Structure 1
């Protein structure tokens, strides 16, 4: 349903934001993972029809995004939650969603608003002013507005940033439920969001796709390259990347990543984070 071939995007003459992107994906929850400044937002805006590619081809839901007609057709089938969405704090959640439904020219507005409120579990709070909501509740309102009209393609940009663990889990579960019926692209820098919910992940860094495949395959990239070292009075060698550390009775335990591990390192099972860090580190 989404087909990207040799996509390039330039800003002016010097900034090459996207460098030959090739991606194809269908129904399900797809994770787009990368550090800040990797090019994720630029790619999202091209897929949403907000920006145009400098070269290459982009087809979304069978539509050619280089044409005005194609972009308009996609926007009619698109749900989009940007990282920062403006909401009127004095409006209730229901009033805000009715307003967005009106902008989308939807039929049976009240029934559609009821449907999306139920999905994001805000039915009981629908008449409260949005300004009284927690950060997680506001993000759920944002997801609800993206669901209006039952779009075939939904893009969510950093939906769990700044949320507590309970809200992050709730939003991940909601997105996984939605993705059984359409294409959902989840853009994030939070690795746990990908590992817990996405069937496929793409790593984007410095405008290039470094990996595209299943999360377990990404984790396996770091097999044999991650271990734990317990040290009392010294730090790990500088040629190793410290993934995490924890205090033990016998000293500091460091989870380290490297091509060659110290002789005293205990091998550990690699995680998605290990595979991600290895991929970023060795393709920069």
Structure 2
């Protein structure tokens, strides 16, 4: 079932956008065409830091192949259960930094199995990621846009989730309903530790996510769940995993050669799901 078009606002003048035949327009005449894949680009050039921000085609393709093989299914399942335990029909859901759409696609599939209709939207700054997402799923709304300027009315979403992305707490607080839910997927201390040991002469000390900026914006931490399991990956899967992470560009040449010489490697996946709720009393100390 096709998800209804969400309410959207113009990223230039913040006025409501109205659907036309093949585009969105605001009263000031700003127009945003619908791409042939079905998404809208609401990231104006003046808001970009580079010509093609976000993940490139190679990273998108590697992550799509890796995730579609089910290696992170346990992470997706935990996220889905957390969202669907709270929401009934017609809840507004945003995947903020959706990449190629894997987690939102998995959520919509499970919601459909439970006869729950969600109004779902995924956005990312990478045009290549959104193109892939829009091709893979026609039931959600897909946008090229930034977490720094979410093109939605205030107090619009029931849940926002951000999977290994870049949360912008003040913007999330503005767009969530009172008592709305924010879910963050972040890496744990031992995430991919075996791979990192092959890549780097010494592994950096773990630094947990600092949630104080979220608390300053009115969020409270309700729960956190650790998701930890092991994967035994062959060389082809290891290269996919590398290509979908910054390690491919950060690791020294010798480290990459070390990984290329492996026939297989057992890798620890260590992820934390943080479940936060927006207070019905707006915070006044958020500095984001």
Structure 1 length-normalised TM: 0.27
Please identify the structure whose Cα radius of gyration is greater: 1
